[in-house]
Amino acid sequence: MSKTSLPPVVVAGGAGYIGSHMVRMLLESGFHPVVVDNLATGHAEAVGQATFRQGDIGDPSFMAPLLREFQPACVMHFAAASLVGESMTAPAKYWRNNLVQTLALLDAMRECGVGQFIFSSTAAVYGNPVEVPITEQHPRNPINPYGHSKLAVETALQDYDRAYGLRSIALRYFNAAGAHPDGSIGERHEPETHLIPLVLQVASGRRREIARFGSNFPTPDGSCIRDYVHVQDLCTAHLLALKKLGEGAASTAYNLGNGSGHSVNEVIAAARRVTGHPIPVRDDPPREGDPPVLVADARRARAELGWAPQYADIETIIAHAWQWERSSLARAA
């Protein structure tokens, strides 16, 4: 294990997709990541060399002793349920996992004197955009329980700062995608619902075709446009947010996206170029609650955090995800 000189950082959900990339980056940057994960959806092997404690963030008898033991500078919170469609049919899961558990985590932090928090929020807090690109000032009107649960935490965070001095940065991700450039970790959801991994499962032979959810949207090619942002770039933003909180920054929220959108058709075309596979498409009806266009205005993160995405190019994002798809398939064989 690498020698660490910087303080411990608790990574809640560090065995999950984005959390595991964060753990790797913290280790490489000299921090001591302490992973907390109940492995409900995470994978123990994704944690790598980091300290790992299995348990629930919402269980104070687990969290408080852990926070006292490590006295982290900050808690980064990736442990959440994050599927819009599922949140419509199972809202109780979203309110419990994403709000109730998070409040318990914040209370354990207060009890143990841990005063900095970085929160994985989402573009879903905005709901249907009234203007694009979406700035942080855009009205926040979520249209599903997932977005509502994340917005509720953001609201609680403002109150917790005012009353308890717990400072936080909420990072509103647009469409997280890609994988570690070395192919060793990546996205692994069961069941998979996200566009890029599903498209690549067609290319690798795990699926026959990709369903395109809607082809009559008011966009140039009729398919939905999203702002795909590389998981490594999301993690870099967390490191910068950690630095900013360490310098005494006030609580705030930032959008994280590349500021350019790609349609479903463009993603499929890029995946064809990257993989050389024809990737057959089937037309399905639109998914409930999918806005036609979601693109971030992330200029504040660039200006105030100094964030500069390294992997904004959609083909690079897909190429890294493709490397991961092939290596995970080879491991499963």
Q: Which of 86, 107, 161, 290 binds ligand UDP (CB under 6 A)?
A: 290
CB of 290 to ligand UDP, least distance (A): 5
User: Contact region for ligand UDP (CB under 6 A) — 47-55, 95-103, 210-218, 306-314?
Assistant: 210-218
269 binds ligand UDP, rule: CB under 6 A:
no
User: Where is 9: in which H helix or E strand?
Assistant: strand 8-12
Check residue 49 for interaction with ligand UDP (CB under 6 A). Answer: no
CB of 83 to ligand UDP, least distance (A): 8
Residue 146 or 311: the one with the smaller Cβ distance to ligand UDP is 146
CB 224 within 8 A of CB 173: no
Set 17, 94, 126, 146: catalytic member:
146
* Pick 176 or 301: Cβ nearer ligand UDP: 176
Catalytic: 146? yes
Contact 135, 172 (CB under 8 A): no
Burial 281-315 (b: 16+ CB within 10 A, else e): beeeeeeebbbbbbbbbbebbeeebebebebbebe
Helix residue ranges per DSSP H, the chain: 17-28, 60-70, 84-89, 91-94, 101-112, 145-164, 195-203, 231-246, 264-275, 299-300, 314-332
- If one asks whether residue 179 binds ligand UDP (CB under 6 A), the answer comes out as no
Report CA dihedral (295, 214, 205, 262) to the nearest 10 degrees. Answer: -20
How far from 230 is each of 79, 177, 234, 257, CA to CA, in Å? 19, 5, 6, 9
Q: Which residue is nearest to ligand UDP (CB)?
A: 224
Interface residue with ligand UDP, options 9, 47, 73, 84 (CB under 6 A): 84
Binding mask 92-131 for ligand UDP (x = CB under 6 A): ----------------------------------------
Q: Kindly list the catalytic residues.
A: 146
Which residues form the interface with ligand UDP (CB under 6 A)?
84, 175, 193-195, 198, 210-213, 224, 226, 264, 287, 290
